């Protein structure tokens, strides 16, 4: 392999890694979750049932649209997070679905 080919392979690898990072909604969602949600739902998403529901298997109970609805509007003891952007809410829903 020539030096040029080696460089090209290294560069394309770096580009792929960058692309994967910027599209990594679960990672962005995890950071948002840590900031806004752990107080009630726990760092491990186990919650404090029955008051604060576990979110570990929430994707089995709710559609992504319903998860986003809950984050936006709250309900019961869940406060609304109307200060979050659509993108942030998408990232959170995506994080919770993994």
Contacting positions for ligand HEC (CB under 6 A): 36-37, 39-41, 52-53, 55, 58, 61-62, 67, 70-71, 75-79, 81, 92
Least distance from ligand HEC to the Cβ atom of residue 27, Å: 15
User: Is the separation of the CB atoms in 13 and 81 below 8 Å?
Assistant: no
Residue 60 to residues 40, 41, 57, 80: CA-CA distances in angstroms?
20, 17, 6, 22
Output the smallest distance, CB 20 to ligand HEC, in A: 23
DSSP character for 91? H
Taking the least distance from each CB to ligand HEC, the nearer of 24 and 84 is 84
């Amino acid at each position: 392999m020539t030096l040029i080919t080696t460089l090209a392979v290294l560069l394309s690898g770096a580009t792929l890694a960058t692309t994967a990072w910027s599209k990594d909604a679960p990672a962005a969602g995890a950071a948002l979750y840590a900031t806004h949600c752990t107080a009630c739902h726990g760092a491990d998403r186990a919650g404090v049932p029955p008051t604060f529901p576990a979110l570990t298997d929430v994707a089995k109970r709710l559609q992504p649209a319903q998860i986003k609805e809950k984050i936006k509007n709250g309900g019961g003891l869940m406060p609304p997070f109307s200060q979050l952007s659509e993108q942030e809410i998408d990232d959170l829903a995506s994080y919770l679905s993994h």
